[in-house]
Amino acid sequence: MLEAVSRRIAAAIKKADPDGPTSVEVMEYVLAIKLTEFSAIFLVSIIGWFTGHFFGSLLALGSLMLIRKFSGGIHFSNLTICVFFTTILCIAIPFINLSLFVIFIANVCSLLIFIVYAPNHFIYINKTKNHKYYKVICIVICALNFFIQSPVICLSLAVQSVSILPLWKGGERKWI
C-alpha cells in the first residue's frame, strides 16, 4: 500500500515537472521511506495515546529508530507490514515490566550482539565515510542504558540486536 502511494506521488511530481533532475524511481524510494517513518510515528502516537502509554510508545519507537539507523538489520519485503510490525512492537513494549536484573542481562546480550555484528546492513545502498563509527555508536547507545536502566529502551535494543544477526535469509552483507 505505501509503495503504491509513493509511486503515485512520484509519478504526479514527475508529470508536473518532466524535466526535473530526479527520476521517478528515486523519488518513489525516498517518498516510501518518508511515508513509512511518518506512518509509524503517527500510528504509534495515536494508539499509544489511547492505551495510556503515549510517551513509553514513542520512547520505544525513538530508541528503535535511532539504533536501527546505525546498526542496520533485516527488512520486511513490504513497507506496510513493516509499519504494522513496528507499531505493534512499540505499543506492546511499554506494557512489559522487567526487573533490574533482567534489564542488565538483556543489555549485556544486546551489547555483545552489537559488538560482534553491528553494523549489519543486509543491503548497502551507499557507504558513508562515517560508516566505520557505526559500531561504536551502537555500543555507546546500548551502554547508556546500563545507566538509564529503562525497560522500554532495553526491549527496543534487544529486538533490534536480534534483527542484525545473520540468521535471516540474506544475512550476508551485499553491496548494490
Element (H, E) at 73: strand 72-73
Given the DSSP bridges, would you call strands 72-73 and 120-121 parallel, antiparallel or unpaired? parallel
Q: What is the pLDDT of residues 65-116, one digit of tens each?
A: 999 999 998 888 889 999 999 999 999 999 999 999 999 999 999 999 999 9
Q: What is the pLDDT of residues 104-119, one digit of tens each?
A: 999 999 999 999 998 9
Closest-CA residue to 157 (of 112, 123, 121): 112
* The three three-digit cell numbers of residue 107, written as one number: 543489555
Sign of the CA dihedral 73, 75, 80, 84?
A: negative
Taking the domains of the chain in order of start, what are their residue ranges?
2-175
Q: Are 39 and 2 in contact (CB under 8 A)?
A: yes
155 or 126, higher pLDDT: 155
